[in-house]
Homo-oligomer: A and B are copies of this chain.
Amino acid sequence: MTTLVESSGLPADAFSAKCPTRQVLDHIAGKWTVLVVDALQAGTMRYTELSRRVEGVSQKMLTQTLRALEADGFVTRTVHPTIPPRVEYDLTPLGRSLAEPITALRRWTEEHINEIEESRTRRVP
């Protein structure tokens, strides 16, 4: 059965410029999204934990990525009004579902990194 996009009644097709799938794919394709979603698969994480786990991410980008994931319904943000504040991030069921293909992609890359480095034409960016 083909997935239909509710309002349009058209089948979802990422190759079509008008399909909303494209926007979502663009978000997922962000530089840090894969790593953040993947990190959260290990379970609930606090802001600072995440920033340590995802090495090299600035707080600006981490915050921005988390806000986007929240807006897309992949992540929940829970604020405990204590002092000091404690903010926990967690995957929603939808986010956990997304984490599967995302983890697969990261794992593929890790597993094939040597092959890639070998077959790559010398061109260090």
| Chain A residues proximal to chain B, CB less than 8 Å | 3-6, 12-17, 19-26, 28-31, 33-35, 38-39, 53-56, 70-73, 92, 94, 97-98, 100-102, 104-121, 123, 125
Beyond A12-B113, A97-B112, 13 additional contacts (C-beta under 8 Å) are A3-B113, A6-B117, A19-B113, A20-B117, A21-B106, A24-B116, A73-B118, A94-B112, A100-B108, A101-B107, A101-B108, A102-B105, A105-B105
User: How far is the CB of A36 from the nearest CB of chain B, in Å?
Assistant: 10
Q: What's the dominant secondary structure at chain A's contact region?
A: helix
Q: How many copies does the complex hold?
A: 2
Provide the residues of chain B in CB contact with A113, threshold 8 Å: 3, 5, 12, 19-21, 24
Q: Is the CB of B12 within 8 A of A116?
A: no
A5-B113, A12-B111, A55-B17 given as contacts; is B71 within 8 A of A25 (CB)? no
Question: Among A16, A24, A94, which residue has the most Cβ atoms of chain B within 10 A?
Answer: A24
| Alpha-carbon separation in the docked complex, A14 to B4 (Å) | 35
